[in-house]
Amino acid sequence: MAMTMAEKILAKASGNKELQAGEIIMANIDVAMTHDLTGPLSVESFEKIGTKKVWDPEKIVIVFDHQVPADSIDAANNHMIMRKFVEKQGIQNFYDMREGVCHQVLPEKGHVVPGEVVVGTDSHTCTHGALGAFATGIGSTDMAMVFATGKLWFKVPETIKFDITGKLQDNVFAKDVILNIIGKIGADGATYKACEFGGETTRNMTISDRMVLCNMAIEMGGKTGLVEPDQKTIHYLKGRSNKPYKIMKTDNNAQSLETIHININELEPQIACPHNVDNVKPVSEVEGTHIDQVFLGSCTNGRLSDLRTAAKIIKGKDISKNVRMLVIPASREVYSKAMDEGLLKTFVDSGALVCNPCCGPCLGGHIGLIGPGEVSLSTSNRNFKGRQGSSDAEVYLSSAAVAASSAVKGKITDPRSN
């Protein structure tokens, strides 16, 4: 029977030879991730169940990334709750506040390999599908059941395969591709579907670029994002993970498969305008828009390639005196490499503020919030009203190149014009 990659992974996890979209299955979980913001509720719910020990402490990963260092007594208390849980349960895969954003840390540390089922109490867990895993966000109470049993039920999703072809223009990136797709599909256009990214353009992308695509699958309603593993995937995993894995690929004649063809030859930089991620316009339509803050970072675009892109544009220039720019590497590994390459010095010399690896202003609960009437240009993944601070503020989303060019000019700027 022909099946999609999502169906094959869930079939393996549930002990079935074959599965079809729409079936309800109970799947074994390979990796369960939670963090400092959503973890305490998972712990509280787990303790109410009455189970004394988690099902497998080696398959649980806990990362502090949302409010680090603690910015309030409540945040500090959440950290204490999770540290006590880690010690009590003997969880070895614990990354305290020094490591960075969970969706960057898990792949870096080798916790995700192809063919696995990965769940996390964060909607952007779908990022890990870039390595060929079925990865999805779940609620904190669902995570409590995973902690107790190692299993979770799923409805097998249908699959939309985005066949992406063409060559990206200079200063046009994976972020522009996914924003363009979301603008076409809509915020609910792929509700509860596996969003698979393929085609020559995807195959030519780095793992970091593929993570950008999968990260934002949730912004069009997707259950997960997926990219078929290839030699780039295998190379990325070398030296990071010793876990055995099985590469699975979609059968083109799978019954639940829908294919949408996307050509990006003529694509220009894209901007998601307030207050919805699918309110996407080409940069030419919003160029010149005033901005107060630029945020370069997050689990979408805080990787080394993003910092390199931005630093190349900013080097030797000053950030506009009317703009504050925050640069937040996605992980300690990214931070360290950026420091070795002199990228952080470039940002500091230009007038940007470089912060510790964390989620930063992305969730509106930590550093770098914006006030009433202010405008943020961000490389993150959401621009809902109040997302980065005041509900009377506005957030635009872009690539690292647009963010860097705009920070220098003090307004939204097409990086191709530099």
pLDDT tens across 384-416, in order?
A: 877 777 888 999 999 999 999 999 999 999 999
Cis, peptide link before residue 275, omega less than 30° from 0 = yes
Give the chain's mean pLDDT.
Answer: 94
Residue at 357: amino acid letter: P
> What is the rounded CA–CA span in Å between residue 109 and residue 84?
23
Return the pLDDT at 364.
74
Confidence of residue 417 (pLDDT cuts 50, 70, 90): confident
Q: Residues 413, 402: contact at Cβ < 8 Å?
A: yes
Return the pLDDT at 418.
66
Top pLDDT among 361 and 365 is at: 361
First-to-last alpha carbon distance for the chain, in angstroms, is: 53
Global pTM value: 0.92
pLDDT over 90 at 366, yes or no: no
Return the pLDDT at 129.
97
Confidence of residue 172 (pLDDT cuts 50, 70, 90): very high
Beta bridge partners of 195: 160, 225
Q: Which domains does the chain have, with CATH numbers?
A: 5-246+254-262 (3.30.499.10), 272-417 (3.30.499.10)
Q: Residues 179, 75: contact at Cβ < 8 Å?
A: no
> What is the rounded CA–CA span in Å between residue 418 and residue 416?
6
**Cα 177 → chain centroid:** 15
Residue range 312-331: average pLDDT? Answer: 95
- Percent above pLDDT 70 for the chain: 100
**Cα 346 → chain centroid:** 25
Confidence of residue 262 (pLDDT cuts 50, 70, 90): very high
Return the pLDDT at 289.
96
Residue range 265-283: average pLDDT? Answer: 95
Residue range 91-99: average pLDDT? Answer: 93
CA dihedral sign, ordered 201, 202, 204, 206: positive
pLDDT tens across 24-68, in order?
A: 999 999 999 999 889 999 999 999 998 899 999 999 999 998 888
Classify residue 373 as left (phi > 0), alpha (psi -120 to 50) or beta: left
Sequence-separated (6 or more) residues with CB below 8 Å from residue 275: 383, 384, 385, 394, 395
Which pairing describes strands 257-263 and 293-297: parallel, antiparallel, or unpaired?
unpaired
DSSP strands (E only) in 242-322: 257-263, 270-272, 280-282, 293-297
Beta bridge partners of 255: none
Q: Residues 188, 218: contact at Cβ < 8 Å?
A: no
Closest among 307, 332, 303 to 109, alpha carbons compared: 332
- The DSSP H or E segment spanning 375 is strand 375-378
pLDDT over 90 at 106, yes or no: yes
pLDDT tens across 64-89, in order?
A: 988 889 888 998 999 999 999 999 99
Per-residue buried b or exposed e for 217-241, using 16+ beta carbons within 10 Å of the residue's own CB:
bbbbbbbbbbbbbeeebeebbeeeb
207, burial (CB in 10 Å: exposed 0-12, middle 13-18, buried 19+): middle
pLDDT tens across 123-169, in order?
A: 999 999 999 999 999 999 999 999 999 999 999 999 999 999 999 99
Top pLDDT among 385 and 287 is at: 287
Return the pLDDT at 381.
87
pLDDT over 70 at 194, yes or no: yes
Neighbours of 385 (CB within 10 A): 14
> What is the rounded CA–CA span in Å between residue 120 and residue 35?
9
